[in-house]
């Protein structure tokens, strides 16, 4: 039982920091790191865990025994060195056979800079850094992931608190928009900062997201970007190499900027770090994407070693990639979250390559008789889509999932459900056709994610469409975890001549969920709609 001596040590720290100038004091198995920026932190050298993070004399690390660490701890052994540019850096290197965790103090900076180098998929469970902070010091995190006092309603990670569903998953933000997230308390803020390029060795692309925060007995703050072992709607294989750099940043409350200068890493002898001089980048223009998407165009580059992205400028549609490692990349153009163009591009160190990319649909002149939603790879505008990222579909704040009947021309897409669940029932679409609109027609159903092999099967006025094969989708819970992002699919149903009515007789299409699996309620086979159209 070493908690008591530790607590007394910390109590003494609170009165007078043990280290008063930038540097490290080794005390027993602990490295006590003084940043001279208001932050003193302690790394346990025989595990790689962080046992203390005092900011302006306030202990932010929870002291109940679960420390800040990768996952539940990596059992590393650590060394430290004062180095870099005028010796203004302290590098604590914590090593295991396949994972090296770097903690870096930068003189006068209230932050723990970090990077995680892997040479194989580590056996630590989910590869993520979790700061386990004192709930009383930083009580305020994401309201959607504050589970204190909750009872589990799904798995052991979705809870009901005062009639509202909460989960750590509902704190997630898509990578492309997740550079700074944090928790706050009276006069203090602790933030995870993932600057541009920090997701280089993560997986899943710009629209993937994972846990940022869970407010439980401890206030947990995550850099959960590695998508390894997690089963969190993983669409790609994991990547090894240097994950990050990222930083745990301490302030008196306000969020720090994401634009932190990380060039200092280049002087620190870090495994897997490719310096700016060893990188190249790509510039170009996105061509042919409908102008309504001008501010919603994303370009990605990936291969088995790295992933990058950039948003196109909303007025010129020009883009500039981040500084990329040399290699051959698949380059993809996204309209919203839908891939609409793809090509290969090679980049070498020191190069600036120009590569324009075209929307392959820009010449498509298909005129839809009717359309529900937009084909942009996501369910935005549909019923409950505005709430699904922050609550469970069972939440009482959600509108009824029906089964819903939707009438084309009379209802906006906000009445059309964003998902169908086999056990809840189909969605029914009613519509009339004018003379000349009958005959053989095509129904296009686009989806963004499915669970348990769910895919659409339809009946039209008593005629049954085929059952499509099971989609290639992540083998994990999906939409109940607050995400719609999977592998976009398109289902084309050829409705033969003689099935559809014209004139005053209403046509009725029902869209059911086909699956070889089963399940109950919102964990029954399901899929998320992107858009539906008849032509
Ligand atoms: C922060 O948390 C405290 C304690 O739970 C609460 O009283 C306060 O209202 C919260 N502040 C904000 C801004 O949410
Ligand atoms: C690159 O991105 C595409 C589109 O998301 C994906 O299908 C592919 O698996 C990715 N490649 C790798 C090597 O992860």
Q: pLDDT tens digits, residue range 421-465?
A: 999 999 999 999 999 999 999 999 999 999 999 999 999 999 999
- Whether ligand 1 lies within 6 angstroms of the CB of 140 is answered as yes
**Distance (Å, rounded) from C-alpha 35 to C-alpha 23?**
7
- CATH topology match: 276-361 vs 366-534: no
Q: Where does the pLDDT of residue 224 fall: very low under 50, low under 70, confident under 90, or very high at 90 and above?
A: confident
Q: In whole numbers, what is the pLDDT of the chain averaged over residues? A: 94
The residue nearest atom 10 of ligand 1, judged by CA position, is 140
Residue nearest to atom 13 of ligand 1 (CA): 140
Class of domain 4-267: mainly beta
Rounded Cα distance, 245 and 242, in Å: 8
Q: What is the distance in A from the centroid of ligand 1 to the CA of 192?
A: 20
The number of the ligand 1 atom at minimal distance from the alpha carbon of 143 is 14
Which protein residues touch ligand 2 with a CB less than 6 Å away?
205, 236-237, 302-304, 330, 332
Per-residue model confidence as pLDDT tens digits over 317-332: 999 999 999 999 999 9
Residue 521 zone, left/alpha/beta (φ > 0; ψ -120 to 50; rest): left
Ligand 1: which atom is nearest the Cα of residue 184?
Answer: 1
The residue among 332, 319, 57 whose CA lies nearest residue 188 is: 57
Query: Is a pLDDT exceeding 90 seen at residue 11?
Result: no
Q: How far apart are CA 341 and CA 312, in angstroms?
A: 14
Residues 6+ positions from 516 with CB-CB distance below 8 Å: 453, 470
Ligand 1 centre to CA of 147 (Å) is 14
Contact 147, 160 (CB under 8 A): no
Which backbone phi and psi does 196 adopt, to 5 degrees?
-50, 135
Which pLDDT does position 344 carry in this prediction? Answer: 98
CB neighbours of 442 closer than 8 A, spacing ≥ 6? 492, 493, 494, 495, 534, 535
Name the DSSP letter for residue 112.
E
Is residue 10 pLDDT above 70, yes or no?
no
| Ligand 1 touching residue 267 (CB < 6 A) | no
**What pLDDT does 366 receive?**
93
- Report the pLDDT averaged over residues 273-281: 97
| Smallest CA separation from ligand 2 atom 9, residue | 236
If DSSP codes are grouped into helix, strand and coil, which group holds residue 316? coil
Q: Which token pair is 128?
A: 């993520």
Return the CATH superfamily for domain 276-361: Carboxypeptidase-like, regulatory domain (2.60.40.1120)
Atom of ligand 1 nearest to the CA of 139: 2
Nearest-CA residue for atom 12 of ligand 1? 140
Percent of the chain with pLDDT over 90: 90
| pTM given for the model | 0.93
**Ligand nearest to the CA of residue 208, numbered in listed order:** 2
* Ligand sitting nearest the alpha carbon of 141: 1
- Radius of gyration of the chain measured on its C-alpha atoms: 26
Q: Is 444 in contact with 205 (CB distance < 8 Å)?
A: no
- 134 half-sphere exposure, CB direction, 13 A CA radius: 17
pLDDT band of 233, cuts 50, 70, 90: confident
Q: Which of 133, 138, 139 to mutate to test the pocket of ligand 1 (most atoms within 8 A of CB)?
A: 139
DSSP 514: E
Q: What is the whole-number distance in angstroms between the Cα of residue 64 and the centre of ligand 1?
A: 22
Closest CA to 394 of 512, 520, 215, 233: 520
Bridge partner residues of 248 (DSSP): 112, 192
Q: Is the pLDDT assigned to residue 219 strictly greater than 70?
A: yes
96 contacts 75 by C-beta, under 8 angstroms: yes
Nearest CA to ligand 1 atom 3: 139
Domain ranges of the chain: 4-267, 276-361, 366-534
Residues 329-384 have pLDDT tens digits of 999 999 999 999 999 999 999 999 999 999 999 888 899 999 999 999 999 999 99
How far is ligand 2, taken at its centre, from the CA of residue 197, in Å?
17
Please count the other Cβ atoms lying within 10 Å of the Cβ belonging to residue 186.
Answer: 12
pLDDT at 1: 35
Residues 394-413: what's their mean pLDDT?
98
Starting from the CA of residue 253, give the closest ligand. 1
Give the up-direction half-sphere exposure of residue 162: CA atoms within 13 A in the CB hemisphere.
5
Which residue from 276, 372, 289, 337 is spatially nearest to 487, judged by alpha carbons?
Answer: 337
Read off the pLDDT band of 7 (50, 70, 90): very low
The values of phi and psi at residue 42, to 5°, are: -120, 125
In this structure, are residues 308 and 315 in contact, taking their beta carbons and an 8 Å threshold? Answer: no
DSSP for 404-470, written as a single string: -EEETTTS-GGGSBSEEETTT--EEEEE---TTS-SSEEEEEEEEEEETT-EEEEEETTEE---PPP
Distance (Å, whole) CA 290 – CA 321? 22
Mutate to test the pocket of ligand 2, among 228, 233, 234, 235 (most ligand atoms within 8 A of CB): 235
Q: What is the DSSP letter of 293?
A: G
Confidence at residue 23, expressed as pLDDT on a 0 to 100 scale: 96
Ligand 2: nearest atom to the Cα of 303? 13
Report the nearest-CA residue for atom 1 of ligand 1.
Answer: 140
Q: What is the CATH number of domain 366-534?
A: 2.60.120.260
pLDDT tier at 226, thresholds 50, 70, 90: low
Residue 140 Cα to ligand 1 middle (Å): 6
Give the span between the Cα atoms of 438 and 495, in whole angstroms. Answer: 10
Does residue 20 register a pLDDT over 70? Answer: no
The answer to whether 137 touches 188, Cβ cutoff 8 Å, is yes
As a whole number of angstroms, the distance between CA 399 and CA 401 comes to: 6
- Residue 374 and residue 300: Cα distance in Å, rounded? 21
* Residue tagged 């529900």 (tokens): 372
pLDDT in tens, 87-115: 999 999 999 999 999 999 999 999 999 99
The atom number, within ligand 1, closest to the CA of 185 reads 1
Residue nearest to atom 1 of ligand 2 (CA): 302
Residues 487-523 pLDDT 10s = 999 999 999 999 999 999 999 999 999 999 999 999 9
Distance 402 CA to ligand 2 centre (A): 36
148 lines ligand 1 (CB under 6 A): no
Burial class (CB in 10 A: 0-12, 13-18, 19+), 66: middle
In angstroms, rounded to a whole number, what is the distance separating the alpha carbons of residues 258 and 321?
17
| Residue of 133, 140, 186 to test ligand 1 pocket, by largest number of atoms within 8 Å of CB | 140
């Amino acid at each position: 039982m070493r908690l008591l001596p530790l607590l007394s040590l910390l109590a003494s720290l609170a009165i007078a920091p043990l280290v008063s100038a930038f540097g490290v004091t080794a005390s027993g198995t602990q490295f006590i790191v003084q940043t001279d920026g208001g932050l003193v932190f302690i790394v346990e050298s025989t595990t790689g865990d962080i046992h203390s993070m005092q900011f302006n004399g306030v202990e932010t690390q929870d002291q109940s025994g679960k420390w800040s660490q990768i996952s539940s701890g990596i059992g590393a052994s650590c060394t430290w060195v004062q180095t870099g540019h005028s010796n203004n850096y302290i590098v604590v290197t914590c090593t295991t056979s396949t994972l090296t965790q770097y903690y870096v103090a930068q003189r006068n900076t209230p932050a723990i800079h970090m990077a995680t180098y892997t040479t194989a998929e580590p056996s630590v469970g989910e590869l993520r850094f979790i700061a386990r902070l004192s709930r009383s010091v930083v009580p305020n995190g994401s309201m959607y992931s504050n589970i204190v006092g909750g009872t589990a309603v799904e798995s052991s990670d979705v809870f009901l608190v005062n009639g509202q569903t909460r989960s750590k998953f509902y704190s997630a933000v898509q990578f492309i928009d997740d550079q700074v997230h944090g928790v706050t308390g009276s006069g203090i803020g602790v933030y995870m900062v993932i600057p541009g390029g920090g997701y280089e060795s993560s997986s899943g692309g710009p629209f993937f997201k994972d846990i940022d925060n869970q407010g439980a007995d401890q206030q947990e703050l995550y850099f959960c970007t590695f998508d390894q072992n997690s089963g969190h709607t993983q669409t790609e294989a994991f990547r090894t190499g240097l994950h990050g750099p990222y930083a745990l940043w301490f302030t008196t409350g306000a969020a720090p900027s994401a634009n932190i200068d990380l060039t200092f890493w280049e002087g620190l002898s870090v495994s897997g770090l490719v310096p700016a001089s060893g990188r190249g980048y790509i510039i170009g223009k996105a061509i042919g994407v409908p102008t309504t998407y001008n501010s919603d165009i994303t370009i990605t580059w990936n291969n088995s070693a790295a992933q990058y992205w950039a948003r196109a400028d909303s007025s010129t549609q020009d883009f500039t990639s981040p500084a990329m490692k040399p290699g051959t990349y698949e380059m993809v153009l996204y309209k919203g979250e839908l891939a609409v163009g793809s090509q290969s591009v090679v980049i070498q160190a020191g190069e600036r390559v120009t590569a324009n990319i075209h929307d392959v649909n820009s010449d498509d002149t298909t005129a839809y008789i009717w359309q529900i939603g937009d084909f942009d790879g996501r369910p935005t505008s549909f019923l409950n889509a505005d709430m699904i990222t922050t609550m469970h579909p069972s939440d009482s704040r959600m509108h009824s999932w029906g089964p819903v009947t939707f009438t084309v021309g009379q209802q906006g897409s906000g009445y059309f459900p964003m998902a169908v669940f086999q056990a809840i029932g189909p969605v029914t679409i009613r519509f009339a056709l004018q003379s000349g609109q009958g005959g053989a027609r095509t129904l296009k159903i686009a989806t963004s994610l499915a669970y348990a092999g769910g895919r659409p099967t339809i009946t039209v006025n008593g005629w049954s469409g085929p059952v499509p094969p099971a989609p290639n989708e992540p083998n994990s819970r999906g939409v109940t975890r607050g995400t719609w992002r999977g592998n976009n699919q398109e289902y084309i149903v050829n409705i033969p001549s003689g099935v559809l009515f014209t004139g005053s007789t209403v046509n009725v299409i029902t869209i059911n969920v086909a699956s070889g699996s089963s399940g109950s309620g919102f964990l029954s086979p399901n899929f998320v709609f992107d858009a539906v159209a008849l032509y």
